[in-house]
Amino acid sequence: MSLKDKNIVLGVCGSIAAYKIASLIRLLIKEGASVQVIMTREATQFITPLTLSTLSKNPVLVDYYDPKTGEWNNHVHLGLHADLMLVAPLSANTLGKFANGLCDNLLSAVYLSAKCPVYVAPAMDLDMWIHPSTTRNIALLESYGNKIIPPGKGELASGLNGEGRLAEPEDIISYLQTDLASNLPLQGKKALITAGPTYEAIDPVRFIGNHSSGKMGYAIANQLLRLGAEVTLVSGPTSLQANSSIRTIRIQSAQQMYDACAQEFAISDIIVMSAAVADYTVQNPADQKIKKKAEDFSIALKKTVDILGTLGQQKTSKQTLVGFALETNNELEHAQDKLKRKNADFIVLNSMQDKGAGFGTDTNKVTILSRDGKTINYALKTKDEVALDISNLIIEHQKSL
């Protein structure tokens, strides 16, 4: 599993082994990860924040706030937006805090706020490592779902020889990659996502389009990538940039979107059609810019290809197909009809009547209808959170196939 584009919070505790963290950060950066270092005050006595800041290319955080500027280091934000948290070296002191919910510094506050996988690499002297209280605290951390990167054996700072050395940076990287790959629920799955609007040309200058920003589709693509899927994103015109690990196919028109999807559909396990595709396109687009002459002007339109409906008829029993419906009236009735007609497994319903939902916003309020007759109403959430809700339903559906 690649660490490329992973947001990693790296906690550093007070230990002589902290000198190895310079090499660890260099390896993480080489893998393409973004690293935010948080140090305990004791850790700054073993290696300077300046060193780790220079290597990570991010300011190192130590306290809840900067006493010079008063700027608050938001532990909740740090914990919620990390793809994984790694604490190395983990001292016996911080181990005890984590195990027992003590929170007297920024690192322990971020740990308690983290919703991502947490990995710890202990480092301490042999007698400390084998002490019953340490064994108990390690067991508690594991019971919380945290992963322990085993310490190595060898000569210790005290002069003793035995277990307790911080795992080597190369071994830590290898452990992360192997464990992440084995635990991702969509590992080995291929996902096809559509996002954004389509533009239907009137002439070389003008087009018929809509207000879709593509934010919802891009959020879903990113979420499925984090869950292990190999993602192909077919995107209409938008200013958004996808994660570099996502294969992105940029298109303009509904026909181009259909052609791209038709190429990928058969090999995809998961298909999410979140793009706002034009229902009609211009019958005969002009080769030259149309001049403003006549008082009245009309354009002949024809229906575009029904991408969701066409692909729905080709769907196999091993695929999960998700469609979107944006409605202004009789929302549930129209969404239920679309679910059946398009042969989808889920329809994500957006209502233009809901404040904070719809085009261009960073939030969304959806109702999800499933083939088995269930209807789930969700509160207003960020689009990243909505993407996670949709992804969780996809995971459960894939498990049932």
pLDDT in tens, 296-341: 889 999 999 999 999 999 999 999 999 999 887 888 999 999 999 9
Q: 1: Cβ–Cβ under 8 A, 6 or more apart, which residues?
A: 176, 177, 178, 180, 181, 184, 187, 228
> Residue 216, class by beta-carbon neighbours within 10 Å (0-12 exposed, 13-18 middle, 19+ buried)?
buried
pLDDT band at 70 (very low <50, low <70, confident <90, very high): confident
User: Is the per-residue pLDDT at 346 higher than 70?
Assistant: yes
Task: Please give the average per-residue pLDDT across 289-296, as a whole number.
Answer: 89
Across 26-34, average pLDDT: 95
Phi-psi region at 344: left, alpha or beta (left = phi > 0; alpha = psi -120 to 50): beta
Q: What is the pLDDT of residue 314?
A: 97
Of 152, 168, 140, 9, the residue nearest 74 (C-alpha): 9
- The residues, ordered by sequence, that sit 6+ positions from 192 with a Cβ below 8 Å of its Cβ are 232, 234, 261, 264, 265, 268, 270, 271, 272
- Cβ contacts of 107 within 8 Å, gap of 6 or more: 11, 13, 38, 39, 40, 87, 94
Q: What is the mean pLDDT of residues 56-85?
A: 87
Q: What is the mean pLDDT of residues 33-37?
A: 96
Residue 200 has a pLDDT of: 97
**C-alpha distance across the termini of the chain, in Å:** 25
Look at residues 227, 234, 269 and name the one whose alpha carbon lies nearest to residue 253. 234
- Maximum alpha-carbon separation in the chain: 93
Where does 70-207 have alpha helices with state H? Answer: 75-80, 92-100, 106-113, 126-129, 132-143, 169-183
Separation of alpha carbons 249 and 247, rounded Å: 7
Catalytic residue among 74, 93, 210, 243: 210
**Domain 190-400, classified CATH 3.40.50.10300, yes or no:** yes
pLDDT in tens, 114-157: 989 999 999 998 899 999 999 999 999 999 999 999 998 777 67
Confidence of residue 159 (pLDDT cuts 50, 70, 90): confident
Q: What is the mean pLDDT of residues 11-26?
A: 96
Which CATH architecture is the domain 7-183 placed in?
3-Layer(aba) Sandwich (3.40)
Catalytic residue flag (residue 343) = no
Q: Kindly report, residue by residue over 212-259, the tens digit of the pLDDT.
A: 999 999 999 999 998 989 999 999 999 999 887 899 999 999 999 999
| CA atoms within 13 A of residue 66's CA, in its CB half-sphere | 8
**Ramachandran quadrant class, 315 (left: phi over 0; alpha: psi -120 to 50; beta: rest):** beta
Q: Where in the chain is the domain with CATH 3.40.50.1950?
A: 7-183
Q: Looking at the chain, how many residues does it have?
A: 401
Which whole number is the average pLDDT over 68-85?
85
Query: Is residue 216 a contact partner of residue 386, using CB atoms and an 8 Å limit?
Result: yes
Highest mean pLDDT among 161-170, 193-202, 351-360: 193-202
Q: Where in the chain is the domain with CATH 3.40.50.10300?
A: 190-400
How many helices (DSSP H) and strands (DSSP E) are in the chain? 13, 21
User: What is the pLDDT, as a whole number, of residue 1?
Assistant: 63
